[in-house]
Amino acid sequence: MEIRKIEADKKKYLSLLLLADEQEDMIDRYLERADMYVLDDGGVRAECVVTDEGDGILELKNLAVCPDSQGKGYGRQLIRFVEDTYRDRFRVLQVGTGDSPATLPFYEKCGFHRSHVVRNFFTENYDHPIYECGKQLVDMVYLKMELERRKGEA
Ligand SMILES: CC(C)(COP(=O)(O)OP(=O)(O)OC[C@H]1O[C@@H](n2cnc3c(N)ncnc32)[C@H](O)[C@@H]1OP(=O)(O)O)[C@@H](O)C(=O)NCCC(=O)NCCS
């Protein structure tokens, strides 16, 4: 298993990016200025995208695991990788997601805590209604974790 940084042609992984964020022009708002990584385990299984939001805040903008590889720990491994890679340069890791049972419990299991809500984010920014688990997404729920050095680390 290896996690590698993608420096060029990030759109090569568009089908994975669209799994987490289904409107391409919304992905275009962050992809070029972002750092992107793919997790390869006998083929690319997952990707994640992070951006510098200023003031010591790193934001996880996109995280997706191939449908046939979900539930095997790849999503959690990418989050741990991001924590370890960026903890020296950022104070907080945040993620915004829909109010959905497909994602909120996952982020909470990975150590994020709910922070705040941006009302009507999905209805105001996307050109069509977004549904997850049969429910229309309306508000963006933000979750955060502190990126402090763990005890015992140099
Ligand atoms: C959400 C997603 C990133 C999770 O990645 P994953 O590799 O499937 O999740 P993991 O196997 O790493 O799961 C880590 C933990 O979260 C739990 N978990 C994952 N999804 C869950 C869910 N919907 N409800 C409850 N727990 C969940 C797992 O059971 C596991 O807990 P455990 O270690 O106690 O068993 C992945 O399923 C995905 O890509 N979904 C589609 C795209 C998407 O919605 N992306 C997020 C929007 S930005």
* pLDDT for 144: 98
Structure confidence at residue 151 as a pLDDT band (50, 70, 90): low
CB 84 within 8 A of CB 50: no
- What digits encode the pLDDT tens for the residues 116-139? 999 999 999 999 999 999 999 999
For the chain, the farthest-separated pair of C-alpha atoms sits apart, in whole angstroms, at 48
Domains in the chain with CATH codes: 2-146 (3.40.630.30)
For atom 12 of ligand 1, the residue with the nearest CA is 73
- What digits encode the pLDDT tens for the residues 29-75? 999 999 999 999 999 999 999 999 999 999 999 999 999 999 999 99
85 sits in which H/E element: helix 74-86
Probe target for ligand 1 pocket from 22, 50, 109, with the most ligand atoms within 8 Å of CB: 109
Distance 70 CA to ligand 1 centre (A): 7
CB 43 within 8 A of CB 77: no
* pLDDT for 5: 98
Residue 149 has pLDDT above 80, yes or no: no
Q: Tokens 């940084």 sit at which residue?
A: 5
- What digits encode the pLDDT tens for the residues 67-104? 999 999 999 999 999 999 999 999 999 999 999 999 99
Closest atom, ligand 1, to C-alpha of 103? 1
Mean pLDDT of 101-109: 96
The DSSP bridge partners found for residue 142 are 96, 116
* pLDDT for 54: 98
The sheet with strand 35-40 has its strands ordered as: 2-6, 35-40, 44-52, 57-65, 92-98, 140-146, 113-118
Residue 154 has pLDDT above 80, yes or no: no
Judge if the beta carbon of residue 115 lies within 6 A of ligand 1.
Answer: no
* pLDDT for 4: 98
Closest CA to 71 of 100, 43, 45: 45
- Between CA 84 and CA 29 the distance in angstroms is 26
Closest atom, ligand 1, to C-alpha of 100? 23
Probe target for ligand 1 pocket from 14, 23, 68, 70, with the most ligand atoms within 8 Å of CB: 70
Mean pLDDT of 144-151: 80
